[in-house]
Structure 1
């Protein structure tokens, strides 16, 4: 038996859960639930507040840390990334522990025991992750781009730097599968940006200051294509690729022409853009935010401009520009009719204080691929059967039940989400997820029951 399925692995945590949730567990049907993964955990135990004026330390939660670490070690030993659990513990100490493993067809939930998105088609990704950029064949470099001037300037700023050889540059091009732009070659001819040439940050800092970013060595250059920016389905399905006619940068997830060569020191990547937007320049410098799933921001019209003049562009761009993505809720659009448009791709129906809405205005729209509906907002969930192009559908358990019982779940779906709000027992949600997976002949989530006496 894998260590994660042995009761003693969980016993210290179960004792903590019992002590901290005695009243909740004592009521009929009482339970506690949580999630533990190799990278973190969420368990319902009370944490002591640190003394005033001091930050929390591991020692303030030592019992919890030790109990969870015992489980995390078992996860590693069992070859499991993470597990959700539901624990029922009687006042006499009899414990029944339900372990839930998502398997290959369900993404992990976020911060709780409920499952994430359900992958109905193996390997499927949301539509924006399938979109390639316009080749931008007519794009030209910025008139001020000057590889020779760039190289001279960097030599003046970094007279003692060690540059890359032509062989090293050629090796990087072969690895990436494309020719590096002349400005980027000029940069690396001055400095190859290897840490062994510096040894510490104090020595590296002048290079970063001279270039305008934390420069990667040649062997760390990479192409920021769509697969390099993975996203959970529940977020990816809500995005849309929008590139306005006056945009300098295309609104795609990634591009085979985005060559990442540095970082801004805060986790955002800096890249040369060889596939610019309608108003952009080939070779412009863009920033890929680590807080965004899609698109990029313009920093400078060229690498020469970045080095000589610093960031020159206003770092802002429209998000979810209508009509591709529409939010109907108390704070946004006031009706589904307002959202209806031939270009609508994503419809989110959120918190709603009026009567439940009808979907008739969006039936037949050619590009609608995502629908997310807050519990109680749909007048007739069966109207969803008329949305024949849906790829992603997120509903509450009650609306899913209506569709499943009527055999009306759209067969076009690639993924699905079960929206859970408030306190809800995880096991029926797992059963519902498995029912959806079975319709697509996909591997189910697994449940293992452990019993023991505390």
Structure 2
């Protein structure tokens, strides 16, 4: 049976990824990332279209299905339900460095991405309050569309999720003292952490990272800073494997 932490188990998939993303991997900071679970996967590989007049079949992309199937089999053998990975170029020509990221006790897995999902900052907190209806409040009405001024006019706001560049000065978020869930891009989190301005009453948090542009290893480091700030256990289950992307090398 294939082992999840054996480079040979991953080699067929790494060969396909290396061929598809050779230019990306040779660029400074270049990486390729994805997630594989026992029921689905998100791997940045192109699918070959079927021949004209014929429906798509597994055999059209058999190499990819076989390569991912080895990882799924290893997950089942390991008793795990999913694994996230980041592939980078190694110092040796055609070699790659593979980072396998396991789940953390205070971090939900990302959805179809190698980036960490919701960070649980308090015992018993449920993932992503943004997806749950708030408790009924007499006189509550739908809020207008959010903007930096409108947001700060809602001092009892409990959930805030923003895109890059929403705030001229992210440090103003500290004024929202009733926030329970905060989701920000990495750059905005960096500003808050460096300024010591992360709201103290959060129950959960999220990092709005770009699936491929942002490196999940850096996002994981950022997540660990947030978890540590709240006295939560960090994400530590990272295994590093290294070897040739192609068996012929």
TM-score under structure 1 normalisation?
0.49
**Given that residues 18 and 89 in structure 1 are in contact (C-alpha distance below 8 angstroms), is that contact kept between their aligned partners in structure 2?**
no
SS in 2 for 1:29: coil
CA distance in 1, matches of 2:186, 2:120: 17
Identify the match of residue 371 of structure 1 among 123, 136, 160: 160
Which fold has the larger relative contact order, with Cα–Cα distance below 8 Å and residues 6 or more apart in sequence? 2
Q: How far off is 1:93 after superposition?
A: 2.0
CA distance in 2, matches of 1:51, 1:443: 51
**Given that residues 117 and 416 in structure 1 are in contact (C-alpha distance below 8 angstroms), is that contact kept between their aligned partners in structure 2?**
yes
Query: 1:40/1:7 Cα in 2 relative to 1: closer, same or farther (>3 Å)?
Result: same
CA distance in 1, matches of 2:97, 2:83: 16
1:62 corresponds in structure 2 to: 62
CA distance in 2, matches of 1:438, 1:389: 21
Name structure 2 gaps, 5 residues minimum.
Answer: none
Q: How far off is 1:374 after superposition?
A: 1.3
Query: 1:244/1:48 Cα in 2 relative to 1: closer, same or farther (>3 Å)?
Result: farther
CA distance in 1, matches of 2:22, 2:148: 46
Query: 1:29/1:373 Cα in 2 relative to 1: closer, same or farther (>3 Å)?
Result: closer
Q: 1:275-424 to 2 correspondence within 5 Å?
A: 323-328=141-146, 335=147, 339=150, 359-363=151-155, 365=156, 368-421=157-210, 423-424=213-214
Q: How far off is 1:54 after superposition?
A: 2.3
2:78 corresponds in structure 1 to: 78
1:20 corresponds in structure 2 to: 20
Identify the match of residue 447 of structure 1 among 238, 243, 248: 238
**Given that residues 240 and 324 in structure 1 are in contact (C-alpha distance below 8 angstroms), is that contact kept between their aligned partners in structure 2?**
no
TM-score under structure 2 normalisation?
0.87
Aligned length: 241
Q: How far off is 1:26 after superposition?
A: 2.5
Query: 1:11/1:29 Cα in 2 relative to 1: closer, same or farther (>3 Å)?
Result: same
2:114 corresponds in structure 1 to: 113
**Given that residues 96 and 242 in structure 2 are in contact (C-alpha distance below 8 angstroms), is that contact kept between their aligned partners in structure 1?**
yes
Q: 1:185-224 to 2 correspondence within 5 Å?
A: none
Name structure 1 gaps, 5 residues minimum.
Answer: 126-231, 246-321, 329-334, 340-358
SS in 2 for 1:4: coil
Greater Rg by CA: 1
